[in-house]
Amino acid sequence: MRPKAIDLFAGPGGLSLGLIRAGFNIIAAVERDADAGETYRHNIGNHTEIEDITKFKPKALRKILEEKEVLKPGEKISLVAGGPPCPGFSLIGRSKISDLIKKENEGQKDEDKKREWRHRFIDDPRNKLFEEFVRYVLEFKPDYFIMENVSGMSSYQIDEDPIVEVIKKKFRGYIVNQKILCASDFGVPQERKRIIFIGHRKGAKPCDFPAPTQRKPLNAMAAIHDLSQVKDTKVGGGLVKVSASNNRSGKRYRQLMREWRVPNPERTHKTTDVFLTSHWTRGVNARDEVLFPHIKSGSGRYPRFGSSGNIRIKKSNRTIYGDLYPKQWDSFLKPLFEDHGFITEFTDGRHYVSIPDTDKKWVMYKSKKEGFQDKMRRIRWDKPSPTIVAHLAKDGYMFIHPWLDRTITVREAARFQSFPDQFQFQGSMASQFRQVGNAVPPLLAETLGRAVLDALSTRDE
């Protein structure tokens, strides 16, 4: 019999997908976002409660599970897992709050005032959602729990107390350890670092953190080589047929992505048909058609690529947006745009480019004062993808395709996260990008799940 588990802040189901593959029976999941909840139901099962966890209390979930006879009254479970969002603990969040503190305290040395700002930050409800996770753990009393969060949390302090230690003390009756893991060490083609908390109930066997399973990280080309050979669609529900890639690098990973079946028994689409959904991305506007070819990853020449032979790319240094604008506006960009038929102008301290006799006009982002130095950045083909983030819901400029002059598609982002090709995302393009960026990579979740199962299988020995 498979050990029972609950997934909190479940998102589209990346954590559940990996835990199921490891050997767990997910009896319930809680997710606030309606699109993510529908994605979960579509791919994994109807045991998702689409609820605001701050209002949907653990006793309410227990009552539902007992009424469904999934749990007996008072029954414990083996695992509670989840990734409560704490945006303020990301590296961006910490830099923002530090800047606020600095600005608020310019010209004064009042430590009490600084402390007040730090506490106002930590008291932000978005940064205390982990307490809802704690409440569920204390209600269901699992043998183990897994909690995932941004690695930036590990360097944050409230006065002299590390926030990590504050969190660990909340889990009464549990011994908790934490470690920063990188997804690329566990078969995920992405440099995604996350802090993982693993707790075991006092008296249970400790659970060891898993050792890396990937000797050499998979690079971006290995992950999406076959996807780049088919045209992205204009609508996310469109099916795209993909042929197997003959590139040897990453062949086993791509095969796993093509053959991994989703758990929902009601799904009839077969992975062996190799049809994909969500292979869509935003169109490239006329300004960016000029800029993208000059944004370089620094990877250099591509190796042999597909049946069509070599793609010849001259070796070049890494070039991001800030290297081009404003540094090279007069010497390079302005003449380049004008050669492409654009009108260039300078108004109100900003440079604009426009197409004659139309209303199409684009601003050039300031790269220093406004913090857009890396506004546009190309993914290296020869390294794992950078961390896939929820900001893709707004734009994909920091995720320009490794060798095509467009931003990555939802399906390519999903491949970088290790979601199988049969996994179908629901909602708009922006919603799908957000779901992918917020998810726990399924292959990392599987490895963590196997570590807990190893502890469960030996706890009575």
Active site residues: 86
C-alpha–C-alpha distance, residues 411 and 382, integer Å:
19
Identify whether the C-beta of residue 31 lies closer than 8 Å to the C-beta of residue 431.
no
C-alpha–C-alpha distance, residues 407 and 389, integer Å:
14
C-alpha–C-alpha distance, residues 290 and 336, integer Å:
8
C-alpha–C-alpha distance, residues 435 and 423, integer Å:
12
Give the number of residues written for the chain.
Answer: 461
C-alpha–C-alpha distance, residues 45 and 10, integer Å:
12
C-alpha–C-alpha distance, residues 398 and 414, integer Å:
16
**Residue 92 host element (H or E):** helix 91-104
Q: What are phi and psi of 210, to 5 degrees?
A: -70, 145
Identify whether the C-beta of residue 299 lies closer than 8 Å to the C-beta of residue 402.
yes
Residue 266: how many CB atoms within 10 A of its CB? 8
Type of residue at 438: N
Instruction: Give the burial string for 228-251 (b: 16+ CB within 10 Å, else e).
Output: beeebbeebeeebebeebebebbe
In order of 34, 235, 418, 440, the CA distances from 11 in angstroms are 9, 22, 15, 9
